[in-house]
């Protein structure tokens, strides 16, 4: 570990115990597999192993003092503007139900329920982490108890869903495979373990679904490492199978294929976080550190089209929020609030829309199934689909 990162980690005895337990489980699996597991499997264990993985354990992670802050935690306006888009979809005749994936600490659900709670029939949440599901229930019970009875936590996707599916920063937390290209040879990287060095990257296989998917891309052929996210493709296919009639809204950081697999990104987009600091390696302390990779939006859109969804739009988070009425909302707040209150909200909004913060790097993508209207408020200007 670099000195920089060693100083950052002051693990409590509880954190030490947790990561040690998880490392024993991962090491056992590596041993059983003959010395190497895929990076996707490592990431799955590190993030989602029941009660120990990063998202499954009860350690604090969201917001100031945690490891990362997401848009709903920055400002209530984020959820309120998403609710406007959803409300428009209801006016198109989409059934008034919502299914949110990976609802984090429940903040987005609360903001949407406070806007649309009276109108909707149910708000489903599909969450992989039992601990986060408990947390979401407590937050909703505290902030909007009148709508708690409409919220239902699901264990799996409904066979047939009518309504609006929503996922903010979920795709970036899905386990990805790693590939390396050298002298035009593509290899999938796996993870090995040794007592001396801890976890290390290892050439794993030259024939696998990830390698085949990488061959379809025009990757630079010298000393290039990147991610292929097969689980996100599977996720999109399963959403399409479940959605009978309605809409899907996905929000996350990422780019189209040509930018994602640009020669300059020769170490890919994979990164680890601890206490809002980017780590030098994503392999430090499984269960304690967050692991994430940007979204290759081209592969999401092409998978969606192949699985029968209609593409509606792709734009930046800034454009989407402005299209949903952000400027008007701010004008109204200016006339209602004191100057310091308004300044506080302006700073929050700046984080959501400024090109140097989340405004450009985060994208919003919309799909539909069996609805006629293909002109949605959020995508009315600032189309970026040319970059896919």
Ligand X SMILES: C[S@@+](CC[C@H](N)C(=O)[O-])C[C@H]1O[C@@H](n2cnc3c(N)ncnc32)[C@H](O)[C@@H]1O
* Contact residues for ligand X, defined by CB under 6 A: 55, 70, 72, 101-104, 108, 126-129, 132, 168-170, 173-174, 235
**Cβ 245 to ligand X shortest distance, Å:** 21
**Cβ 62 to ligand X shortest distance, Å:** 6
- Rounded to whole angstroms, how far apart are CA atoms 361 and 297? 12
φ and ψ at 319, to 5 degrees? -60, -45
Looking at the Cβ atoms of 23 and 105, the one nearer to ligand X is 105
**Cβ 129 to ligand X shortest distance, Å:** 4
Looking at the Cβ atoms of 174 and 294, the one nearer to ligand X is 174
Looking at the Cβ atoms of 225 and 294, the one nearer to ligand X is 294
Q: Are 288 and 54 in contact (CB under 8 A)?
A: yes
Q: What does the DSSP 8-state code read for residue 62?
A: B
**Cβ 258 to ligand X shortest distance, Å:** 26
**Cβ 198 to ligand X shortest distance, Å:** 25
Looking at the Cβ atoms of 73 and 217, the one nearer to ligand X is 73
Report the 3 state secondary structure along 264-324: CCCCCCCEEEECCEECCCCCCCCCCCEEECCEEHHHHHHHHHHCCCEEEEEEEHHHHHHHC
Looking at the Cβ atoms of 104 and 359, the one nearer to ligand X is 104
**Cβ 53 to ligand X shortest distance, Å:** 9
Q: Are 277 and 316 in contact (CB under 8 A)?
A: no
Q: What is the CA radius of gyration of the chain?
A: 21
Q: Indicate the residue whose CB is closest to ligand X.
A: 102
Looking at the Cβ atoms of 168 and 368, the one nearer to ligand X is 168
- Rounded to whole angstroms, how far apart are CA atoms 93 and 372? 10
């Amino acid at each position: 570990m670099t000195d920089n990162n060693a100083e950052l980690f002051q693990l409590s005895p509880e954190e030490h115990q947790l990561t040690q337990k998880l490392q024993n489980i991962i090491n056992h699996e590596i041993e059983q597999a003959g010395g190497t597991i895929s990076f996707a499997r490592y990431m799955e264990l590190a993030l989602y192993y029941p009660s120990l993985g990063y998202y499954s354990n009860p350690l604090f992670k969201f917001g100031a003092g945690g490891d990362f802050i997401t848009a709903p935690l920055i400002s209530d306006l984020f959820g309120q503007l998403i609710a406007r888009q959803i409300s428009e979809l209801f006016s198109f005749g989409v059934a008034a139900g919502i299914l949110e994936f990976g609802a984090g600490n429940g903040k987005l659900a609360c903001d949407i329920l406070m806007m649309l709670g009276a109108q909707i029939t149910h708000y489903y949440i599909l969450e992989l982490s039992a601990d986060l599901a408990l947390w979401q229930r407590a937050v909703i019970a505290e902030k909007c108890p009148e709508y708690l009875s409409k919220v239902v936590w699901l264990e799996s996707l409904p066979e047939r869903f009518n309504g609006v599916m929503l996922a903010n920063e979920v795709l970036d937390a899905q386990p990805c495979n790693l590939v390396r290209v050298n002298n035009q040879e593509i290899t999938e990287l796996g993870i090995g373990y040794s007592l001396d060095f801890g976890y290390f990257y290892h050439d794993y296989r030259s024939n696998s679904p990830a390698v085949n998917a990488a061959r379809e891309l025009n990757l630079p052929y010298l000393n290039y490492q990147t991610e292929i996210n097969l689980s996100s493709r599977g996720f999109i296919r399963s959403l399409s199978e479940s959605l009978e009639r309605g809409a899907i809204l996905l929000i996350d950081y990422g780019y189209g294929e040509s930018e994602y697999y640009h020669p300059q990104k020769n170490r890919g987009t994979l990164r680890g976080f601890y206490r809002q600091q980017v780590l030098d390696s994503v392999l430090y302390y499984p269960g304690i550190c967050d692991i994430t990779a940007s979204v290759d939006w081209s592969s999401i859109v092409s998978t969606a089209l192949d699985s029968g969804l209609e593409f509606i739009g792709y734009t930046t988070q800034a454009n989407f929020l402005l299209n949903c009425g952000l400027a008007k909302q701010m004008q109204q707040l200016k006339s209602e609030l004191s100057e310091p209150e308004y300044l506080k909200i302006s700073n929050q909004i700046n984080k959501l829309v400024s090109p140097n913060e989340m405004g450009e790097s985060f994208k919003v993508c919309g799909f539909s199934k069996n609805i006629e209207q293909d002109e949605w408020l959020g995508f009315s200007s600032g189309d970026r689909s040319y970059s896919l």
